[in-house]
Amino acid sequence: MAAFAAIVSFAACSKSKDLQDSSLTKDKTDLSSSRDSTKSAATVESYPNEVRASGSNFIWRINNVDQGSTSSLATALNNVIGTGNREVHILIGGTLGQQINLQPGLTLRCHNVSFKKGHTGNGFFRDGSGGIKIYDMILDNSTAGMGIRTSRASDIYIENVRIYGGGIGIRIDSHPSRPYEDGRWVKNIHIQDCRFENGSSHGLETYGVDGFKGYGIVARNMGECGVLLNKTINGTLGTVNAYRCSNGGGYAGLRLANDCSNVTTSMLIAEECGRGYFVLTGTNNCRLDNARITNGTGIGVWLENVVNCSVLAGCTNDGVAVTGSGSYANVSTNGCP
């Protein structure tokens, strides 16, 4: 994908616009109806470790044995997760009255059920060792706080998670309060096909990550960045698709800051964001292969005093500013066809 994007012509960029316009229009108006359900169920099937509904209660099952029943979905989830090292299937959605504590060696398969966070803390949280996988979750994060946060946890894989509202959608960091300090890193983080919408802060944020992959990231109407990478090295992003992220503000569809290094992004689509692609503060050797940045309220491509950072192709009608050794932006500034 990266190699392809690097040689895309402006005509191809026009084709990309045509393909994207219909999805952008739909994205602005058509939200999944599952968001509105406070209790939704997956197809009924029995798993060794699961949470399912029984009338108005929730049953948790471990090693093929039902362990108990509770009226609190959060209690059932935390009980079935236990100390981790198991695969858990969540077959029923509902309101979470407290934080869900992720544990090492946990695989959480949510079967596209919908959760609504009914408290102001983090929805799902881990501070410690990792080896955690999360699949197929819908989270209404309309209260304050983050949707998913992990600290000091390496080996994190999150796929097909949709988070609506709240503050930061997903934050991955190397320390809960001091990820910026030397020597603090988490490794092997993979975020795949995730969507963030109507939050007051960033969609996806990292801080202190060595070895990052992110593909198919969509952010809509976020108060700050669509994607923000801080102190993230040796990373690969596929497509970041951002609409009205930090509109009128100083953040961007995609922002790299605080000593990022060796991060390659295949494609950035940023429409009506504050800035499009914003790279600054000690960042070096980062490359964006192709950009389509339109109708923003700030600079479209801004590489601010960075080293060997580049944009290889694309277009913007929002201007370009580049400073720093070996840095350049080979984009059309006459608007996107």
The per-residue pLDDT of the chain, averaged, comes to 90
Across residues 294-323, what is the average pLDDT?
97
Tens digits of per-residue pLDDT, 142-184? 888 999 999 999 999 999 999 999 999 999 999 999 999 999 9
Determine which helix (DSSP H) or strand (DSSP E) holds 163, and give its type and residue range. strand 156-164
CA atoms within 13 A on the CB side of 11: 0
Is the CA virtual torsion 23, 273, 143, 103 positive or negative? Answer: positive
Look at residue 334 in the predicted model and tell me its pLDDT: 87
User: Is the pLDDT at 13 greater than 70, yes or no?
Assistant: no
Section 285-298 average pLDDT: 98
> Is residue 262's pLDDT more than 50?
yes
pLDDT category, 41, cuts 50, 70, 90? low
Half-sphere exposure of 184 (CA within 13 A, CB side): 20
Residue 1: predicted pLDDT: 38
pLDDT band, residue 23 (cuts 50/70/90): very low
Inform me whether the pLDDT recorded for 57 exceeds 80. yes
Predicted pLDDT at 40 = 57
Query: How confident is the model over 113-133, as pLDDT tens digits?
Result: 999 999 999 999 999 999 999
Strand, coil or helix: what is 147? coil
pLDDT confidence of residue 42:
60
Please spell the DSSP secondary structure of 75-107, one letter per residue: HHHHHHHTTS-EEEEE-B-EEE-S-EE--TTEE
pLDDT of 235 higher than 90? yes
Other beta carbons less than 10 A from residue 66's beta carbon: 12
- Report yes or no: 248 and 225 within 8 Å, Cβ to Cβ: no
